[in-house]
Amino acid sequence: MPLYEYICRDCNHPFEELVFGNESVRCPECSSARIERQLSVPAAPRTETTPLPSACNSSGPPCGPACRRWNGS
């Protein structure tokens, strides 16, 4: 069920609508069927602001190259 952006040709009201299959869309302000689908820009994906850990805090053997106790062998 895609979310589309529209603008009404009669009242110039911009709106978004979930569309199921061949469902017809009407303006929520004036109920006109004279609408025009707009080009939508996809949202940028969210990214984590916290960096990945760069060293383990284990007391066991080094866990790999990211471990602060890794000696490269």
pTM of the model: 0.54
pLDDT score of 11 more than 70:
yes
Contact predicate 32/13, CB 8 Å: no
Residue matched to tokens 């199921």: 20
Report pLDDT for 40: 74
Flag whether pLDDT at 65 surpasses 80. Answer: no
Domain boundaries, the chain: 3-37
Q: Are 42 and 62 in contact (CB under 8 A)?
A: no
Structure tokens at 35: 């609408």
pLDDT at 15: 94
pLDDT digits (tens, 9 = 90+) for 19-63: 888 889 999 999 999 999 998 767 666 666 655 555 566 666 666
